[in-house]
Structure 1
Amino acid sequence: MAPTPHDDGSQGVKEESMASQTATRPISSLLLIIAMQTEALPLVNKFQLTEDADSGFPKGVPWLRYQGNYKDLKINIVCPGKDTALGVDSVGTISASLVTYGSILALQPDLIINAGTAGGFKAKGASIGDVFVASDVAFHDRRIPIPVFDLYGVGLRQAFQTPNLLKELNLKVGKLSTGDSLDMSPQDEASISANDATIKDMEGAAIAYVADLLKVPAIFIKAVTDITDGDKPTAEEFLQNLAAVTAALDLAVTQIVDYINGKRLSEL
């Protein structure tokens, strides 16, 4: 598109220059977005972060920000916090989208890590406690059967590619499918199958949408708490395995952060 009389095209040049500088300098600022405090607190302790009352977020939101320095990195862990009416973790795509948008504007991270638990499919090789890095993310519950709108509903996006990190840490890779329900309806199951997903969660694709919109690279680390195509009730299996699987998740995230330290985006 040609510049307007009031636009000499310099804004696009500036953005390209900033993106180039970000790719060639060591990563200095990490934003970890984690839906549940249970999943976040071990990492808060590991990285010796402190809760920041002056978070820079809009007044009244329940979002929590833990911040500090770890090695050469400035780390922020942000959780959507507790629902103000019901007191449970604010899981799901709406809270994830809002907290991602607000955090990017307030904190200007070099890289986003969405860490959390997920359901896994044994038919795709997932087992309880496995930790996956998502290669692609998509929605499975936004069904809009109109040409082009159907693709918008699925919202397929590629996660930031980290081939060196995957090789060094020997991590599993799989496609992630996101929806706002913990259980899986037959329609969801068909959509998840169409997405060729190994893991399913309630936040990833929403975070990917906002990260893509605001041009911040994002990676997705998911640990399997329940086997979605297994014979145990999902909610029961999730609660039974949450603590142990969170420990596996935190170990993997720590290894990833240690690997990222001192590296450029282009080296991941």
Structure 2
Amino acid sequence: MAMEAEAAPLIERLGFSKVETDEPQLPFLAYETQFGELELSLVINGKDRRFGVESVGTQPATLATFWAIKRYNPELILNAGTCGAFISKGSDIADVYISESFRFHDRRISIPGYQAYGYGDYPAHTFTEMAEELGLKYATVSTGNSLDMCDTDMEIIDSLPVAVKEMEAAAIAWVAEQYGTPLVALKSVTDLVDGGKLAQEEFVENLGKASRALTEKTVSFLEALQKINAAETA
């Protein structure tokens, strides 16, 4: 997860315990817990030591994902976090979406042959029946390194049927693809891009509400995942 504030309700709810990392130079925070038969590891990007703020964005996400895969060798990565969304695409504050795919909207490379690489279009692991049971909406998770959006970013996202925007998931998806690790994301809406409010103000205002909604859906997702695993091993 990108931010401690996003993770705090989940850490408390599932009883995660903090563990030491083997990379003291890096700001990552690691937590572990047992949830039924599931061994859960939670990695947070941590705070930037120079600027004293949460390490949001693609660079910390890439490095944290690489470290997490090397440390834990997970069977599945669940990228839980918050996002911006669009009233025009049917979104509201604290709606929780499950990933249909991942892509970048601000990595535009017009050199011949590089456009598809720039956008990425990484697949998400599918949980169709579970998503329906939990009332999760599907969306393309689109990643960029800015909280606000330029006109070109908007045009790209407007071309997608349903999309949410955030700052890490496509970078995580790239690393997961290199290692062949299945990835799914749950994203809870903090701000509405086309709602007329400043994104930074709406984000701060709704972060707590969105994080609590994210925690509830994440716990429900893990409960459903545990049932699937039990059925497969029965």
TM-superposed CA distance for 1:264, in Å, is: 3.6
Structure 2 residue 14 is matched with structure 1 residue 40:
no
TM-superposed CA distance for 1:197, in Å, is: 4.5
1: CA distance between counterparts of 2:59 and 2:73?
A: 21
Q: Specify which of 220, 223, 229 is matched with residue 255 of structure 1.
A: 220
Structure 2 residue 107 is matched with structure 1 residue 145:
no
Distance 1:251 1:126, change over 3 A: same
TM-score, normalisation: structure 2: 0.95
TM-superposed CA distance for 1:195, in Å, is: 4.3
* Paired letter, 2:8: L
Is the 1:138–1:195 contact (alpha carbons within 8 Å) kept by the matching residues of 2? no
2: CA distance between counterparts of 1:145 and 1:266?
A: 48
- 1:210-229 aligned at under 5 Å gives the runs 210-229=175-194
Distance 1:192 1:265, change over 3 A: farther
Which runs of at least 4 in structure 1 moved beyond 3 Å after TM superposition?
A: 194-197, 264-267
Structure 2 residue 42 is matched with structure 1 residue 51:
no
Is the 1:140–1:177 contact (alpha carbons within 8 Å) kept by the matching residues of 2? yes
2:89 alignment partner in structure 1: 124
TM-superposed CA distance for 1:193, in Å, is: 2.2
Unaligned stretches of 5+ in structure 2?
Answer: none
2: CA distance between counterparts of 1:128 and 1:69?
A: 31
1: CA distance between counterparts of 2:132 and 2:203?
A: 29
1: CA distance between counterparts of 2:187 and 2:112?
A: 32
TM-superposed CA distance for 1:170, in Å, is: 2.0
2:132 alignment partner in structure 1: 167
TM-superposed CA distance for 1:70, in Å, is: 1.3
2: CA distance between counterparts of 1:80 and 1:265?
A: 31
1: CA distance between counterparts of 2:122 and 2:229?
A: 22
TM-superposed CA distance for 1:59, in Å, is: 3.1
Is the 2:138–2:162 contact (alpha carbons within 8 Å) kept by the matching residues of 1? no
**Identity over aligned residues, as a percent?**
38
* Paired letter, 2:4: Q
Equivalent position SS for 1:263: helix
2: CA distance between counterparts of 1:194 and 1:89?
A: 31
2:46 alignment partner in structure 1: 81
Alignment size in residue pairs? 232
1:157 alignment partner in structure 2: 122
* Paired letter, 2:154: E
TM-superposed CA distance for 1:214, in Å, is: 0.5
Unaligned stretches of 5+ in structure 1?
Answer: 1-33
Is the 1:177–1:195 contact (alpha carbons within 8 Å) kept by the matching residues of 2? no
* Paired letter, 2:16: L
Q: Specify which of 197, 210, 229 is matched with residue 232 of structure 1.
A: 197
Is the 1:72–1:262 contact (alpha carbons within 8 Å) kept by the matching residues of 2? no
Equivalent position SS for 2:210: helix
1: CA distance between counterparts of 2:54 and 2:111?
A: 34
Equivalent position SS for 1:68: strand
TM-superposed CA distance for 1:266, in Å, is: 10
Equivalent position SS for 2:177: helix
2: CA distance between counterparts of 1:258 and 1:235?
A: 33
Equivalent position SS for 2:228: coil
2:158 alignment partner in structure 1: 193
Distance 1:129 1:150, change over 3 A: same
1:11 alignment partner in structure 2: none
Structure 2 residue 54 is matched with structure 1 residue 95:
no
